[in-house]
């Protein structure tokens, strides 16, 4: 788990990215900052679309950005919303692909941390690679 200073730095980066969220329909801005085990940070924001299902969440945007840069091992992700909302089911599944032990820090847009948990705690009894590798 991250120490307090590292967690606060990651929260600051997510709060900084928050202004870039594109949420003209829901007006519910979300930003995320994903820390790799190699020490790099990738941010993401929600990007809505007039065709609503085309919307992508901040968490998945951050994961896609990191994986595109060759990173697959993650330490923690901060998710920032106005009311300290938690990641949706789709994002929990996408994060689980890269490890149930990834720390998930829930913060608000003022930078206050409301909860620190893990992907595994957010997605119990998850489906993953091991299921596909199992015999019969
Ligand atoms: Zn999501």
Evaluate if pTM is beyond 0.85: yes
Task: Choose which CATH entry (3.40.605.10, 3.40.140.10, 3.30.9.10, 3.10.180.10) describes domain 4-132.
Answer: 3.40.140.10
DSSP 33-54: EEEETTS-EEEEE-B--SSGGG
Q: What is the pLDDT of residue 95?
A: 98
Q: What is the pLDDT of residue 70?
A: 98
The active-site residue, picked from 5, 8, 16, 59, is 59
Domain positions in the chain are: 4-132
CA of 57 from ligand 1 middle (Å) equals 4
Alpha carbons 43 and 31: distance in angstroms, whole number: 7
Neighbours of ion ligand 1 (CB under 5 A): 57, 88, 90-91
CA of 135 from ligand 1 middle (Å) equals 31
Q: What pLDDT, in 10s, does the model give residues 38-84?
A: 999 999 999 999 999 999 999 999 999 999 999 999 999 999 999 99
| Catalytic site includes residue 59 | yes
Cβ atoms within 10 Å, residue 83:
8
């Amino acid at each position: 788990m991250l120490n307090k200073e590292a967690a606060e730095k990651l929260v600051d980066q997510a709060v900084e990215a928050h202004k870039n969220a594109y949420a003209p329909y829901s007006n519910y801005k979300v930003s995320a900052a994903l820390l790799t085990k190699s020490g790099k940070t990738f941010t993401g924001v929600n990007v809505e679309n007039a065709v609503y299902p085309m919307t992508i969440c901040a968490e998945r945007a951050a994961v896609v950005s990191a994986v595109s840069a060759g990173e697959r091992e993650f330490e923690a992700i901060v998710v920032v919303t106005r009311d300290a909302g938690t990641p949706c089911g789709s994002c929990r599944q996408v994060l689980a692909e890269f490890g149930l032990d990834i720390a998930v820090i829930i913060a608000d847009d003022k930078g206050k941390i409301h909860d620190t948990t893990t992907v595994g705690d957010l997605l119990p009894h998850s489906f993953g690679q091991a299921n596909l590798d199992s015999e019969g």
